[in-house]
Amino acid sequence: MDKKCFIIMPISDQEGYEKGHFNRVYKHLIKPACEKAGFLPIRADDENITNYIVIDIIRKILDADLVLCDLSAKNPNVLYELGLRQAFNKKSVLIKDFKTNRIFDIQGLRTIEYDDKLRIDEVEIAINSISKSLNDTYECDLDEINSLIQLLAIKPATIPNNIEISKESSLILESLTDISNRLNNLEKKELSSTGDAAQKIYDINKYKIAIGEEIFDGQGNAIGKLADVHSDAIFVKKNNKIIKIMKSDPAYAKFDNLPF
């Protein structure tokens, strides 16, 4: 499949939904709908681990042939990413479950609804509707309403080819780049010093997390770097201290490797 559809949706568990609910939505509804329409679905956690995952996500939001956005649960990160896509007036398809109220700011845009209970018969109907909308949106003229930008007749944002910055800004950027390179080198040295352990990757919830990789609390707050994994607990390193976190701890279920 040459056409790519970037999926904007809740990734971690959301309040008011069963654990793993949105993974099931992706697996049984969104992914089949994209494939039926001839698109390769790409979700943020499908990507390889990288220190620049946020930058990579933003690039895919802007460059994808199409974006499918699930507004269910009104997740702030989802709305922020949709805002980026709409600022550039890029084509998007919006969906939400029945239990989520319409969002006032974008209620003028068509939104396909699906049954959050994911009943087989309802899912099949939703797959067909979403698939058709993906194809229709992809094929539609640029003059079609895809965002608030068009509704308000605002000139969409653009990415300039050449950007001129002041000498002071240039020095700051050079310093930040140097600091970033130094930190990356330190991390590489720390990982290499642990030998084979640095190559181990573990399944924590639904995420592949390597020894030495940063762990977050599901809200973008850093917990520490993964140091070791036992059958009943994990160990993270923060501020040169090793912290033991039991897998039975409710907080453990929210851990991921996404800094947002």
Q: Using one digit for the tens of pLDDT, what is the confidence trace for 121-176?
A: 999 999 999 999 999 999 986 655 555 545 555 555 565 555 555 566 566 656 65
Are 64 and 4 in contact by the 8 Å Cβ rule? The answer is: yes
144 and 253 in a single domain? The answer is: no
Residue 222 falls within a domain, yes or no?
yes
DSSP H or E segment with residue 71: none
139 and 201 in a single domain? The answer is: no
Residue type, 155: K
Residue 171 falls within a domain, yes or no?
no
Angle between helices 76-87 and 53-63 (to 10 degrees): 50
CATH number of the domain that 63 lies in? 3.40.50.450
Predicted local confidence at residue 198, as pLDDT: 46
Stronger pLDDT, 158 or 71, i.e. the higher one: 71
138 and 50 in a single domain? The answer is: yes
Residue that the structure tokens 């959301």 belong to: 14
Share of the chain above pLDDT 90, in %: 44
**Distance, first Cα to last Cα, the chain:** 29
Q: What is the pLDDT confidence band of residue 197, given thresholds at 50, 70 and 90?
A: very low
CA distance 33 to 39: 9
Share of the chain above pLDDT 70, in %: 72
Task: Outline where 5-75 has alpha helix (H).
Answer: 21-25, 31-36, 53-63
Predicted local confidence at residue 32, as pLDDT: 96
Q: Which domain holds residue 43?
A: 3-151
Number of domains within the chain: 2
Stronger pLDDT, 182 or 18, i.e. the higher one: 18
Predicted local confidence at residue 150, as pLDDT: 52
CA distance 122 to 147: 28
Residue 187 falls within a domain, yes or no?
no
95 and 215 in a single domain? The answer is: no
119 and 203 in a single domain? The answer is: no
Last residue of a domain, one of 151, 186, 210: 151
Residue 168 falls within a domain, yes or no?
no
Beta strand extents in 81-152 (DSSP E only): 92-97, 111-114
Residue 96 falls within a domain, yes or no?
yes
Whole-structure pTM over 0.75, yes or no?
Answer: no
Q: Which residue in 220, 196, 199 sits closest to 209, CA to CA?
A: 199
Residue 172 falls within a domain, yes or no?
no
119 and 226 in a single domain? The answer is: no
Residue 182 falls within a domain, yes or no?
no
Q: 3-class DSSP state for residue 154?
A: coil
Are 72 and 39 in contact by the 8 Å Cβ rule? The answer is: no
Residue 39 falls within a domain, yes or no?
yes
CA angle 48, 215, 80 (to 5 degrees): 70
Does the pLDDT of residue 38 top 90, yes or no? yes
Per residue in 209-257, pLDDT (tens digit) is 888 889 998 888 889 999 999 989 999 998 889 999 999 999 999 998 8
Q: Which two tokens stand for residue 25?
A: 């939505």
Q: What is the pLDDT confidence band of residue 51, given thresholds at 50, 70 and 90?
A: very low
Burial readout 153-168 (b: 16 or more C-beta within 10 A, e: otherwise): eeeeeeeeeeeeeeee
- Rounded to 5 degrees, φ, ψ at 157 are -70, 155
Stronger pLDDT, 6 or 160, i.e. the higher one: 6
